[in-house]
């Protein structure tokens, strides 16, 4: 029986995504850099703060973030671990409502405001339509999250970004799935006068044939679809019940599994 591994799309084993909070006007420059280098990210916005000075105006949300992911960051950015749970639920649902009205797409990701969360909050998230949530800590590694509601970034962009990028670029063991997630705030590049850092990073890591560039929700949904595959007991065939194409490696073969189809494995 051949050994079978889950792959990212097109048989890749490395994925890169970016995660930026608050929706400051500096996102215009940041999105332009990402787009130029084929990099995708999630932008976590506060629906109740969109009209404040320095924020991306609501009428620009859909066009600016096209091709990326608009995700929740709560309606007013409170420290939610100190709030009553009904208020937390309202913060997330109201944020989703505003952002979905502006983008016309379901909002299913979250970054915790001020990094604040709790076991009680995390338990509620699936019932509120939140498929993943990002914390503010960093792991320094490239592992996929064990708990998608405690998704930890590889690094903040001010924390050895190019060092992490070089290590990630050199990874060659396809037996592992490796994920690099970078997080931060767009305004920090103005504050720290280091736009050259994110320019260098994106120029270095972008447009590589061995990396899947995806949003956080795309990665979340893909891994959920991969988990749902139904394999024959003898490994001779596999059925993909989801609506997403999933890729696997069986022996030396890279195989695409179309949605809703049964595929025979050689």
Q: Model pTM greater than 0.85?
A: yes
Tokens of 29: 């420059």
Q: What's the pLDDT band for 2 if we cut at 50, 70, 90?
A: confident
Residue-wise pLDDT tens digits, 159-189 = 999 999 999 999 999 999 999 999 999 999 9
Ordered by start, the domain boundaries in the chain are 14-217, 228-264
Q: Which CATH number fits domain 14-217: 3.20.20.370, 3.30.1600.10, 3.90.190.20, 3.40.640.10?
A: 3.20.20.370
Q: Where are the beta strands (DSSP E) in 95-232?
A: 109-111, 132-138, 151-153, 155-156, 178-185, 211-213, 230-231
Q: 244-265 pLDDT, tens per residue?
A: 999 999 999 999 999 999 999 9
Averaged confidence pLDDT in the chain? 97
Of 33, 6, 57, 40, which is closest to residue 180 (Cα–Cα)? 40
CB neighbourhood size of 228 (10 A): 13
Residue 205 has pLDDT above 80, yes or no: yes
Q: Half-sphere exposure of residue 118, counting CA atoms within 13 Å on the CB side?
A: 11
């Amino acid at each position: 029986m051949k050994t079978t591994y889950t792959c990212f799309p097109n048989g890749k084993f490395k994925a890169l995504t970016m995660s930026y909070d608050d929706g400051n006007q500096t996102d215009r420059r940041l999105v332009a850099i990402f787009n130029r280098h084929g990099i995708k990210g999630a932008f976590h916005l506060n629906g109740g703060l969109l009209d404040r000075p320095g924020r991306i105006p609501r009428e620009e949300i859909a066009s600016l973030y096209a091709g990326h992911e608009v995700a929740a960051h709560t309606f007013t950015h409170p420290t939610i671990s100190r709030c009553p749970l009904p208020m937390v639920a309202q913060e997330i649902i109201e944020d989703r409502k505003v952002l979905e009205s502006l983008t016309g797409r379901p909002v299913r990701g979250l970054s915790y405001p001020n990094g604040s969360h709790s076991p009680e909050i995390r338990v509620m998230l699936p019932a509120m339509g939140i498929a993943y949530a990002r914390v503010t800590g960093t792991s320094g590694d490239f592992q996929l999250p064990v708990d998608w509601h405690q998704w930890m970034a590889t690094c903040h962009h001010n924390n050895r970004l190019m060092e992490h990028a070089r290590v990630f670029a050199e990874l060659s063991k396809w037996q592992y799935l490796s994920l690099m997630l970078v997080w931060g705030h767009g305004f920090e590049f103005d504050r720290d006068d280091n736009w050259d850092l994110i320019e260098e990073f994106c120029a270095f890591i972008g447009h590589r044939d061995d990396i899947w560039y995806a949003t956080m929700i795309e990665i979340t949904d893909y891994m959920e679809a991969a988990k749902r595959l139904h394999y024959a007991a003898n490994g001779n065939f596999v059925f993909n019940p989801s609506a997403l194409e999933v890729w696997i490696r069986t022996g030396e073969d890279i195989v695409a599994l179309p949605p809703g189809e049964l595929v025979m494995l050689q």
